[in-house]
Amino acid sequence: MIQSMTGYGEYCFRNIRCELKSLNHRFFDANIFIPSCLSPYEIKLRQLLRERIVRGMLYLRIFIEAPEIKTDLKQAKAHYNFLIDLQKNLKLNSDIPIELFLPFKKEIAPQWSVIQKVVTGAINALVKSRIEEGAKTLKDINGHLKQIDKFFDSIKQKVPVLEAKRMKKIQANLEINKEDFSEEQMRFETHFKALKRNISSAGVSGKYCVFLLQEMQRECNTIASKTKDSSVATLIVKLKDEIEKIREQMENVR
């Protein structure tokens, strides 16, 4: 099943919301934006993402609405003692404003099980959107695969005529074997079959498909350089155009 690298997922639980976006990227790369109280969970969050997402540029954001807060009494007392000492040394009579102690607060981090639930929900939503996008990509790719089948079949139908011409040249000792592209035809068909198998498999690999498409382009170039038949050359141009369209689509497949 083809899964696109672009997608979006969101999940909310209690007062916590997680947004997860992915974009096209050659490798796995996670950008994590979380409240400071969740910093101890960052490594776990990265591992959680990597378990489900193979490739793509990821942006994970977690928002906590009205987080639970407690006072950092140790820091507040130290600051108070400092202010009292300063007040005595400077002989100040003014009261110490309570506002000076507002920074001495800590957000209470939710339990990991809660954060895991929220992030897993966002990952599920993201994967669903990537699969939906992948289905659209697959539909487009299948159209190009049919065109490749059509064009290459047309080339194969011309082979007997071209072979007859080549044999006449051989008999006349002219340009022996120059127009024989049977090996390239066989390699092209091998790569094409492997491409269709991979695209229809559960563990489709965008990188492997791109490699096969590049090899198909290489065989097309060799066939084009060997043949002098203008109709075959025209079909090769159309064939390469369809291959390039699939390659562009595969760049966005995980």
Q: What whole-number distance in Å separates Cα of residue 56 and Cα of residue 31?
A: 11
| 11 and 38 fall within a common domain | yes
Using the predicted structure, report yes or no on whether residue 253 has a pLDDT greater than 70. Answer: yes
| 116 and 15 fall within a common domain | yes
* C-beta of residue 23 within 8 angstroms of C-beta of residue 61: no
**Cα separation of the two ends of the chain:** 11
Q: What whole-number distance in Å separates Cα of residue 217 and Cα of residue 210?
A: 11
Q: What whole-number distance in Å separates Cα of residue 18 and Cα of residue 22?
A: 13
| 152 and 38 fall within a common domain | no
Q: What whole-number distance in Å separates Cα of residue 17 and Cα of residue 15?
A: 7
Note whether residue 1 is domain-resident.
Answer: no
Q: What whole-number distance in Å separates Cα of residue 81 and Cα of residue 115?
A: 38
- Residues contacting 36, CB < 8 A, separation 6+: 107
Tens digit of each residue's pLDDT (9 = 90 or more) over 34-61:
998 899 999 999 999 999 998 899 999 9
If one counts the domains in the chain, the total is: 3
| 155 and 229 fall within a common domain | yes
| 239 and 166 fall within a common domain | yes
| 12 and 114 fall within a common domain | yes
| 82 and 148 fall within a common domain | no
The two tokens of residue 106 are 């800590």
| 200 and 217 fall within a common domain | yes
Q: Which domain holds residue 17?
A: 7-67+110-129
Q: What whole-number distance in Å separates Cα of residue 9 and Cα of residue 7?
A: 7
pTM for the complete prediction? 0.65
| 165 and 221 fall within a common domain | yes
| 117 and 168 fall within a common domain | no
CATH number at residue 51: 3.30.230
Tens digit of each residue's pLDDT (9 = 90 or more) over 158-204:
877 777 766 666 665 544 445 677 888 889 999 999 988 888 887 77
Note whether residue 217 is domain-resident.
Answer: yes
Q: What is the pLDDT of residue 129?
A: 94
Q: What whole-number distance in Å separates Cα of residue 250 and Cα of residue 216?
A: 14
